[in-house]
A and B are shown apart, each in its own frame.
Chain A
Amino acid sequence: MATHEIAATHHGPAAAHAAHVPAEHSAHAALAHHFDNLEQQREAGSLGMWIFLAQEVMFFGRLFLAYVIYRTRFPEAFAAASNHLNWKLGAFNTAVLICSSLTMALAVWAAQVGRTRRTQVFFMALTGLLGATFLGVKAVEYYDKYRDHLIPVRGWFHWEQPLSANVSEQNIQMFYWIYFAMTGLHALHMIIGIAILLPIMYRAWKGAYSPEYHAPVELFGLYWHFVDIVWIFLFPLLYLLGAHYAGGHAAAGH
């Protein structure tokens, strides 16, 4: 799907110029002055979003790299630390995000086929609500870590469970900062996402989106799906990695 989208823009501009008579669309209020027609504007927007997402991949990618390096270096510590995360809350949140992706896709569809503004806003609101739910659960989890002294800051971090031979407290702290860095960055993206969704919702309510013009909804959808996909990777890497860890003895307690 990604490659298809981008490939479509490759031979786009010249063809777009030739094929569309500018006058056909030029009256549309959403057309910026420096574009010839809405088609060109939409292409530019969607290519821009894909490139932005490529940039995001590199941004998150370094943290994944750090994860891979330190996980291979300290496999047991990572398993022990991961075992302490609450995989049930993680799984719940995964389900919430997948649902929100669905509602977002429905919102895009509603704008594309010209459903009423009510329908559009309904799906968008549902998306936002699910996003907020995710963040709420995340906050609960963070609070638990705070209570257990698992915030990986010097002088703060304290691991209470017994340590086995190959596991040092420092290596467990390493897992926790990776956990906080990755999920924190992800949560930041969710917050920004909801902040962007609100004005889009407002404009949808004003009836701005039609089958002819709905680029903002579509582009936001791309962003939202991307943020979801990041979580789909984070969940198994962080939560499930140590789900069966029995190296300590208290594993069953969780």
Chain B
Amino acid sequence: MSTAVGAPATPIDAPRGVRFPHVNYLNANYGIKSWLLTLDHKRIALLYLASVTFFFFLGGVYAIAIRLELMTPAGDLVESQTYNKLFTHHGVLMVFFFLIPSIPAILGNFLIPLMIGAKDLAFPRLNLLSWYIYMAGGIITLWALLSGGVDTGWTFYTPFSTTFSNGYVVAAGLGIFVNGFSSILTGLNFIVTIHTMRAPGMTWFRLPLFIWAHYATSIIFILGTPVIAITILLVALERLARIGIFDPALGGDPVLFQHLFWFYSHPAVYIMLLPSMGIVSEVIATFSRKNIFGYTFVAFSSIAIAVFGFLVWGHHMFTSSQSIYAGMVFSFISYAVAIPSAVKVFNWTATLYKGSISYDTPMLYALAFIGLFLIGGMTGLFLAALGLDVHVHDTYFVVAHFHYIMVGGALMGYLGGMHYWWPKITGRMYPEGWARFAALVIFVGFNLTFFPQFLLGYMGMPRRYHAYPVDAPVWQVLHVMSTSGASIMGVGMLIPMVYFIWSMRYGKFATANPWPATGLEWRTASPPPTENFGTTPVVTWEAYEFRPMEETEVIGPGDTPAQPIDGMQPTDGKNP
């Protein structure tokens, strides 16, 4: 933006000094200011990528510490007080600073305008502001964690958080409160963009399912996040001024907090999951070269999940003095909300049927998603059964359940999406062999970590304890399995980190449409120019209009030429 003249060393350089053959959003201008003040949604996405990755690895460090402590029955590595902080910090960082922003703020930000044929999001300044708000929230929270820490668990249950905890609850809460506004702005921007910025011909039912998923996610951002914001504000006020809202001694009700918290936090689990489902829809279609089976059902199931997701929060409170009749209703609706999720799984499976499937890395992650989400979702139904939940509530069974969803589902989808769009984002291919290897390592490590936890929980191992009985040797066996799995997964996560960075410099150049896929984002150069498209595209084809691979190679993927529509020449995908 500012220092375009006399461009200094290219940040992303082709092998042996060869530059990108075309002007794109990465090399259009240089300098720290051109990044920190950018209004380009693609650059903002990369700002998010850097900061979200940082929080992810920090959260991972805490996870490793937790797993090390649990290798032995005695609480020998850290004190119970410290252990409380470890799992709280892990949860807060992973939920609020990694999973919630990850896919929407990185891939959603980057792709939504490209996929609908717009030049940018509707409100570029709000978009940049949301990143700064995210950073402010992150820094406040980091400060709280480092200067003393919080020991309430990521759920901040009252009255512990308001009356008894000695941690930095107010500061951590403030960080999460601030961060919430970044989610709200992102959601607002997405909804407005999807409504008003679609290219001519891009009707609602030609939108990629990724867009539908983000639309649904944004609804939750808008209607859910303010609730958690005000709830956390109330906890802070209660701590500071004893206003009494959650304090039984003053006539308040601590369980009210749980209602308010889960009213947001159950929908929030779908914030984490829906974007991932959007990615899986894209990837499954591309790598089985078929239209998604029952497109409209999959599209509306996203909206149904967003809506029904608001009605099931009580399934977290079956054992909390909630009325048994309310419990029955919440249990029933929890079963109902599984239906739209199941619609997706069935339709993806039906899409695979007779598809011409290729097992590139994004597809491996998508398939992993389907399997792992299936286990996570089904165990969610177990938990939503009133009788069973009394037995396994607050045990490792619950921990395993939500990790199957959040890691096995959301994170796998995120990794699949990063691989799938990496060529578009950087203009470079990642090394396929290494990537498949890493996917395998992560998959094995993941299952080894979390499957034993189902067994542990079913046998009665409570969550959030740093010690367990010595006279149940099988518990230790399972815990050791879990810890070794976590180590394997940890290594698996580092591999993509290394080869992604490596590929930014040494990877092969990507063509405009390397897979080849049908979306608009593949019909502009890789990486795209700052304005995304030379001229506003006109859409005359349906979503996912795939042709058989042989035909595609000759005449291109859809009704339009294989060349990017702005006429920019892609490179041939080989190193010069």
Which positions in A face B, CB cutoff 8 Å? Answer: 9-10, 12-14, 16-18, 32-36, 40, 43-44, 47-48, 51-52, 54-56, 58-59, 61-63, 66, 69-70, 73-74, 152-154, 168, 170-171, 173-174, 177, 181
Contacts and interface: CB of A to CB of B under 8 A. Distances in A.
Nearest to A176: B243
B256 A44 contact: no
Contacts of B196: 9, 12-13, 16, 40, 43-44, 47
B198 interface: yes
B230 A62 contact: yes
Contact of A54 (B124, B193, B223, B253): B223
A16 B196 CA distance: 9
Interface stretch (B199-207, B383-391, B401-409): B199-207
Given A44-B122, A154-B242, A177-B244, 14 more contacts: A9-B195, A17-B200, A34-B122, A40-B197, A44-B196, A47-B191, A51-B192, A56-B226, A70-B252, A73-B251, A153-B241, A173-B250, A174-B243, A174-B251
Interface in B387-435: none
Given A9-B195, A177-B244, A74 B251 contact: yes
Contact of B251 (A34, A35, A47, A168): A168
28 contacts: A9-B196, A12-B195, A13-B195, A13-B197, A14-B200, A14-B203, A16-B196, A32-B124, A33-B119, A44-B122, A44-B195, A51-B192, A55-B225, A56-B226, A58-B223, A66-B234, A66-B245, A70-B251, A154-B242, A170-B250, A171-B251, A173-B243, A173-B244, A174-B243, A174-B244, A177-B237, A177-B241, A177-B243
B184 interface: yes
A153 B242 contact: yes
Given A54-B223, A59-B230, A34 B119 contact: yes
B229 interface: yes
Given A58-B223, A63-B230, A174 B252 contact: yes
B192 A55 contact: no
Contacts of A34: 118-120, 122, 124, 197
Interface in B114-140: 118-120, 122-124
Contacts of A177: 237, 241, 243-245
B304 interface: no
A170 B251 contact: yes
A178 to B, nearest CB: 8
Nearest to B536: A36
B171 interface: no
B375 interface: no
A13 B250 CA distance: 54
A55 B223 CA distance: 6
A44 B198 contact: no
Say whether chain B's binding surface is mostly helix, strand, loop, or mixed: helix
Contacts of A9: 195-196
Given A63-B230, A154-B241, A55 B260 contact: no
Contacts of A32: 124
B222 interface: yes
Contacts of B192: 44, 47-48, 51
A51 B250 CA distance: 36
A14 B198 CA distance: 7
A36 B196 CA distance: 11
A17 to B, nearest CB: 4
B229 A59 contact: yes
Residue of B201, B222, B241 with most partner-chain A CB within 10 A? B241
B123 A17 contact: no
B283 interface: no
A124 B10 CA distance: 51
A18 B198 CA distance: 12
Contacts of A152: 241, 243-244
Interface in B539-558: none
Residue of A13, A43, A70 with most partner-chain B CB within 10 A? A13
Contacts of A181: 237, 243
Nearest to A36: B536
B72 interface: no
Given A34-B119, A40-B197, A69-B253, A62 B231 contact: yes
A58 B225 CA distance: 9
Nearest to A156: B241
Contacts of B202: 14
Nearest to B238: A177
A52 B188 contact: yes
B227 interface: yes
B51 to A, nearest CB: 24
Residue of A9, A35, A56 with most partner-chain B CB within 10 A? A35
Contacts of B229: 59
Would you list the 7 A-B pairs with minimal beta carbon distance, nearest first? A154-B242, A59-B226, A34-B119, A34-B120, A177-B243, A58-B226, A44-B122
Residue of B184, B249, B251, B253 with most partner-chain A CB within 10 A? B251
Contact of A17 (B122, B199, B250): B199
Interface in B204-262: 222-227, 229-231, 234, 237, 241-245, 249-253, 256, 260
B211 to A, nearest CB: 13
A27 B242 CA distance: 58
Nearest to B181: A55
A69 B256 contact: yes
B128 to A, nearest CB: 13
A10 B197 CA distance: 11
Nearest to A151: B241
A34 B122 CA distance: 8
Contacts of A35: 197
B250 to A, nearest CB: 5
Contacts of B241: 152-154, 177
B222 A54 contact: yes
A225 to B, nearest CB: 19
Given A54-B223, A66-B245, A14 B201 contact: yes
A63 B256 CA distance: 12
A239 to B, nearest CB: 20
A13 B197 CA distance: 6
Interface in B311-353: none
A210 B99 CA distance: 45
